[in-house]
């Protein structure tokens, strides 16, 4: 990558350690992201990486995208203006976020009920049971149906009743 013209707006000129520290990352993470093509920092005359404002914005985009559950492959498509399947990747990710947010809301309601419940064993509370009836009845067939493709389990749960 060619050197960029420097402006006051692009006043950042960080070494790899400075850039990593800014985001609470280890330097090897930035090097890995460079290896997989997500970053292309300039090099100084000694061959050391130099991160400028555009690089820092790109790192921030990667960090936020990772926090939102995107894989590095998905992020590569997101950051590639020429990627033909960019919108499909984003639509799939938005659907996954919507599913996860709905599950988080359900989990919050369940935890709130358990917190406020007077029963010593919440599993005996009829109000609490409503929060798990979908699993008990088989309406949700497995843990993977709740967690989605990134879930840790995919074994089917037998229907009870």
What is the per-residue pLDDT for 76? 96
Higher-pLDDT residue of 95 and 81 is 95
Q: Name which of 29, 14, 43, 25 is nearest 72 in CA terms.
A: 29
Nearest to 16 by CA among 60, 61, 45, 52: 52
Domains along the sequence of the chain with CATH: 8-79 (1.10.1660.10), 100-150 (no CATH)
SS3 at position 144: helix
Q: What is the pLDDT of residue 157?
A: 34
What's the pLDDT tens digit per position in 127-161? 888 888 888 888 877 666 665 554 433 333 333 33
Report the C-alpha gap between 24 and 129 in whole angstroms.
Answer: 41
pLDDT at 159: 37
| pLDDT value, residue 6 | 54
CA distances, 22 to each of 60, 68, 93, 101 (Å): 10, 19, 27, 29
On whether the pTM is more than 0.75, the answer is: no
């Amino acid at each position: 990558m060619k050197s960029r013209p420097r402006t006051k707006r692009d006043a950042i000129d960080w070494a790899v350690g400075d850039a990593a520290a800014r985001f609470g990352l280890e330097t090897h993470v930035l090097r890995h992201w460079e290896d997989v093509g997500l970053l292309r920092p300039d090099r100084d005359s000694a061959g050391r990486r130099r991160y400028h404002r555009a690089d820092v914005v790109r790192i921030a985009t990667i960090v936020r995208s990772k926090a939102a559950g995107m894989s590095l492959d998905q992020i590569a498509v997101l950051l590639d203006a020429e990627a033909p399947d960019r919108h499909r990747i984003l639509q799939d990710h938005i659907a996954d976020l919507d599913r996860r947010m709905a599950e988080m809301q359900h989990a919050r309601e369940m935890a709130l009920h358990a917190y406020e419940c007077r029963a010593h064993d919440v599993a005996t509370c009829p109000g609490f049971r409503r929060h798990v009836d979908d699993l008990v009845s088989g309406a949700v067939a497995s843990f993977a149906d709740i967690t989605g493709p990134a879930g840790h389990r995919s074994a089917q749960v037998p229907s009870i009743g």
